[in-house]
Amino acid sequence: MKGLVVKNTGSWYQVKTDDGELFECRIKGHFRLQEIRSTNPIAVGDNVEFDMNVDGTAMIHTIADRRNYIVRRSSNLSKQFQILAANLDMVSLIVTVNYPVTSLVFIDRFLATAEAYRVPACIVFNKTDRYSADEMEYLEALVNLYTSLDYPTFKISALLSENIEDLMSFLSGKTTLFSGNSGVGKSTLINAIAPKSLAKTGEISSYHNKGMHTTTFSEMFELLSGGHIIDTPGIKGFGTIDMEEAEIGHYFKEIFSVSSKCKFANCSHVHEPGCAVLDAVEKHTISLSRYQSYLSVLRDTHEGKYR
């Protein structure tokens, strides 16, 4: 039997067949014996084949070739990465400038990973109903920065269902991964655009102004306008992986564009004379925050540690 993985609880996978029937499946042991470097050999969005056992359980035995996938470094030290989802048309990062604060390094790490895995990305700035005048000014600056880099951006209030029509139209017909820090309102947004999901929502910890985890597994929901959303657990940090030092600049669009003018072909854009990237940072044609994010990813390759 064949189907699409629509839910991953860590130990079970819910698989949906073409006729809409759902099966709770486990994976055959050989998946774990192969040298798979991820914490989850199967991800939501995978097309799989499975067999029914005589005891009524189902067992996945084959994964179809993936069109693409996106990963993050796992905090599980025994493995190297976690596959967030597979066979995607888009990844959407849900961002809040407060309640809680999403760091620029987090945003840029996410975007760099999307570039590395060749998955188009957009940014959704949520909770516009809560921001002060200064916070709205900062939000506009971020919108200007990322739209200048050709990332589609949306300013919404999921709680009040404000300005979500354009986002719904943009996501229509696509399979989109939603990601972001805990507490940024992913579940509230999903409930607004895919009401049948009934995604669980949570409160913000007032003591730390940080979100509390409400999604504990990955799950796919159908959009009202057509297409699918894959919800993932909120994450605190976004660790990059499988990036060669010389290639990191390729995943920052503006750095890659300018780097062809560097004096040295192997320029690291850190200290070399005649570096066009350093010159652009000094002249503010490359954002300092983006350059600092580039350095942050570069340090990962030197230190080899989780971030």
Q: What is the per-residue DSSP string for 92-150?
A: EEEE-SSSSPPPHHHHHHHHHHHHHTT--EEEEE--GGG--HHHHHHHHHHHHHHHHTT
- Give CA–CA dist 253/96, Å, rounded: 23
pTM greater than 0.85: yes
pLDDT at 275: 97
pLDDT at 208: 38
- Give CA–CA dist 239/93, Å, rounded: 15
pLDDT at 237: 59
pLDDT digits (tens, 9 = 90+) for 248-274: 999 999 999 999 999 999 999 999 999
CATH architecture, domain defined by 245-303 = Orthogonal Bundle (1.10)
Give me the CATH code for the 72-77+84-231 domain, please. Answer: 3.40.50.300
CA 196 to each of CA 63, 183, 193, 199, 222: distance values in angstroms, whole numbers, following the listed order: 28, 21, 9, 9, 8
Region for 98 from its dihedrals, namely left if φ exceeds 0, alpha if ψ lies in -120 to 50, beta otherwise: beta
Q: Taking the domains of the chain in order of start, what are their residue ranges?
A: 2-65, 72-77+84-231, 245-303
Element (H, E) at 152: none
Is the Cβ–Cβ distance between 288 and 281 less than 8 Å? yes
Which CATH number, 3.40.50.410, 2.40.50.140, 3.40.50.300, 2.60.120.330, labels domain 2-65?
2.40.50.140
Element (H, E) at 23: strand 22-27
Local mean pLDDT, 10-residue blocks, the chain (307 residues): 93 92 86 62 94 88 93 61 91 97 95 94 98 98 98 97 95 96 92 70 41 61 90 69 83 96 95 97 97 92 54
